[in-house]
Amino acid sequence: MEPKIFPHPADIEVEVYGKTLEELFRNVGIFLCDTITPRERVEERIKRSIEVESEDLEALLYDFLEQILVLHDAENLVFRDIKVEVLEKRENSYYLKATLTGEQFNPEKHESGTLVKAVTYHEMKIGKKKVNSEEVWFAHIVFDI
């Protein structure tokens, strides 16, 4: 199911879908990665793991996406794929472990996409809804560009 992009005067506002929470988080992460650098020319040469634990699903999504941005900014990495290995509710928190595969950004090989400065909590929402008569998970999120 394709993400739905909303008109926004200065940022990227999007709603992303998944049949499961794991698929939703993967799809939002893929949307972010593809926004930064279109993934079709990115090879899977480097692996990075992300582990985050947060008080609720919105905070977990924020922390997960923020870690992707940190890896991109600090190590100049771009990613082709994400595998969410664990997403579970714990006693007072949610925990996520994911593996990202990609490579160093190379301007001679990779296209520059949109510079995403930050993930925001503005209008962020995670829940379930019917889309095309199918109940799916959705995440509504705004990226600061």
Q: Determine, yes or no, domain membership for 5.
A: no
Indicate whether 4 belongs to any domain: no
Instruction: Render pLDDT for 46-77 as a digit per residue (tens, 0 to 9).
Output: 999 999 999 999 999 999 999 999 999 999 99
At residue 140, the 3 state secondary structure works out as: strand
* pTM of this prediction exceeds 0.85: yes
* Phi-psi category of residue 123: left, alpha or beta, with phi > 0 → left and psi -120 to 50 → alpha: left
- Residue 8 domain-assigned (yes or no): no
CATH number at residue 103: 3.55.10.10
Kindly state whether residue 3 falls inside one of the protein's structural domains.
Answer: no
Look at residues 127, 33, 132 and name the one whose alpha carbon lies nearest to residue 82.
33
Residue range 85-126, pLDDT digits in tens: 999 999 999 999 999 999 999 999 999 999 999 999 989 999
Which domain range does residue 99 map to? 13-144
Q: Does a structural domain hold residue 2?
A: no
Number of domains in the chain: 1
**pLDDT interval class at 9 (50, 70, 90):** confident
Q: Which residue has the tokens 């899977």?
A: 44
Give the Cα separation of 111 and 75 in Å (integer): 17
1 pLDDT higher than 90: no
Which pLDDT score is estimated for 8? 86
